[in-house]
Amino acid sequence: MFSDTDNKDNRSEILSQPASPSSDNDATTGKNKKAGYAQPQSARDLGNELEINFDEDDLPTKTATKTTRKSFGVNYITAAPAPSSAPLSLMLDSDTDFLALLDCFYRRLFPFREFYRWLSYGLVQRNYFQNRELSFTLASDSYLRFQSFKDGEELKHRILELKPVKIDIGAVYNAKPKEKKSIQEGRFNALERELVFDIDMTDYDPIRGADICLKCWDFMTVSIKILDRALEAEKNKKDFHRAEDFGFKHRLWVYSGRRGVHCWVCDDRARKLNVEARRAIVSYLEVVKGGDENSKKVSLSSKSTHPAIREAEKILGPIFTTRLINNQDILTSPEKYEKLLQLIPDEELKKRLRSSWENKNKRPVEKWSEIMGETQALSKKKPALAATLQEILFNYSYPRLDSNVSIGLNHLLKAPFCVHPKTGRVCIPIDQKYCDSFNPFQAPKVFDLINEISAYDSAHVGGPSVPG
């Protein structure tokens, strides 16, 4: 569903996905006197660091022509959008300039005030926001790191000027990131950053295949439930068997805009964690380890079970047996169930299961019941099988973490509330209490939002409106 290729008549994911319901050049600019809008200058005029090493999955392709680019699957003119005094078309169509959509989105919808208040944390620490790194990815494929601003107004002005297709948030440094080049090497250091987690559906491809659908979102739902339970504040200090692991209170879960979720842990002590502490937290949370070449990615003790594993199993078990077993075709065909059988360390048991399933139209849930019954019965005689069911459960459904994102202080992560450049969907927060009901295909699309604004303005203001 998320194809990155464009053919002659193909619309982008921005337009082809199910509609939302109604409701990665720090340029000084010259003024076009005739049009009245700012035009970015060339990259060589940039004062800050320009990097082109970006994640191809999140950025536009380089298919520019002289006057028109076909990036994000949407035709857009390389010139900047019309000035604020120009009318917006009554209803936007599939050929609408993506940068014009972004311009209107930033002017009318982006929560600049709340964004600034969040990243400044009440300005308890002087220069906290000024020393925060932001990065911008521009429509020209330029990637600008070490951007910093004195306040929210300056940030807003810059974003409206550049109209970045992607905004990333980095660390708080010991100096202003924009002055990095003037600081002696080795003396510019990251001090703080939120503890963040990045979970992407791509890491589940060996289980579910490369396409994404609503059924696949169960993996993200499980991830939110498992990690949030481990991260959250302790509810009952007397119940040590139910105590949450880290006691963090301020946790923001955000839809990535495409096929993943991000978690921002914003507690003061979380932001101050050093690299070693972050690595320890990730190591504690990581259960699934190993690359695609490893069929067995989970190893659990058959003698004793850690309380955190028991708590996670309470969440995983019902979702695995009622949803994942059926929705992900884990046991539907020999090709599928052979992968699962590789996780069982008993050849005789595997032979019996194969014989029971061959040429028989058994449902996946029936096959899983057989695995459970046989394994539990044998585990009394063969202790090595005691943890097998847990290992299968965790191998197929436990969250897969991008550890580098969580550990490195200087690693950046896409900002909440921006627009994903390939899908056009807004990176909206997810209420973890109701994550079961979250539908990524109903996340608002910038195209729909601007259409709604245009329609509202036409009905209530007496004609086409102006962005901003």
Collapsed DSSP state (helix, strand, coil) of residue 21: coil
Name the residue with higher pLDDT: 299 or 259: 259
Name the residue with higher pLDDT: 131 or 52: 131
The reported pLDDT for the residue numbered 243 is 45
Region 344-353 average pLDDT: 94
The reported pLDDT for the residue numbered 51 is 32
Rounded distance, CA 318 to CA 328, Å?
Answer: 15
C-alpha dihedral (272, 278, 280, 281), degrees to nearest 10: 90
Helices in 135-274 by DSSP H: which ranges?
A: 152-162, 205-208, 218-231, 268-271
Please indicate, yes or no, if residue 132 is contained in any of the structural domains.
no
Label the pairing between strands 413-414 and 166-173. Answer: antiparallel
Mean pLDDT of the chain: 78
Q: Which domain holds residue 308?
A: 304-398
For residue 329, what is the DSSP state? T
Query: Which pair of tokens denotes residue 182?
Result: 């003037």
Active site residues: 133, 198, 200
Please indicate, yes or no, if residue 95 is contained in any of the structural domains.
no
Is residue 91 predicted with pLDDT exceeding 80?
no
Is residue 390 predicted with pLDDT exceeding 70?
yes
Query: Which pair of tokens denotes residue 228?
Result: 């949030």
Number of other residues whose CB lies within 10 A of the CB of residue 52: 9
Please indicate, yes or no, if residue 334 is contained in any of the structural domains.
yes
Name the residue with higher pLDDT: 58 or 385: 385
Is residue 54 predicted with pLDDT exceeding 50?
no
For residue range 404-450, what is the model confidence (pLDDT) as tens digits? 999 999 999 999 999 998 899 999 999 999 999 999 999 999 999 99
Rounded distance, CA 228 to CA 430, Å?
Answer: 12
| Overall number of domains in the chain | 1
Is residue 108 predicted with pLDDT exceeding 90?
yes
Name the residue with higher pLDDT: 206 or 231: 231
Please indicate, yes or no, if residue 345 is contained in any of the structural domains.
yes
Name the residue with higher pLDDT: 421 or 60: 421
For residue range 2-50, what is the model confidence (pLDDT) as tens digits? 333 333 333 334 334 444 443 333 333 333 333 332 333 333 233 333 3
Confidence of residue 70 (pLDDT cuts 50, 70, 90): very low
Label the pairing between strands 195-200 and 251-255. Answer: unpaired
The reported pLDDT for the residue numbered 234 is 60
Is residue 252 predicted with pLDDT exceeding 90?
yes
Rounded distance, CA 414 to CA 423, Å?
Answer: 14
Q: Report yes or no: 271 and 288 within 8 Å, Cβ to Cβ.
A: no
The reported pLDDT for the residue numbered 257 is 94
Query: Which pair of tokens denotes residue 7?
Result: 């053919």
For residue range 160-195, what is the model confidence (pLDDT) as tens digits? 999 999 999 999 999 999 999 999 999 999 999 999
The type of residue at 453 is I
Confidence of residue 211 (pLDDT cuts 50, 70, 90): low
For residue range 287-298, what is the model confidence (pLDDT) as tens digits? 877 655 555 667
Measured on CA atoms in the order 286, 290, 296, 299, is the torsion positive or negative?
A: negative
The reported pLDDT for the residue numbered 18 is 44
Please indicate, yes or no, if residue 178 is contained in any of the structural domains.
no
For residue 186, what is the DSSP state? T
Confidence of residue 210 (pLDDT cuts 50, 70, 90): very low
Please indicate, yes or no, if residue 64 is contained in any of the structural domains.
no
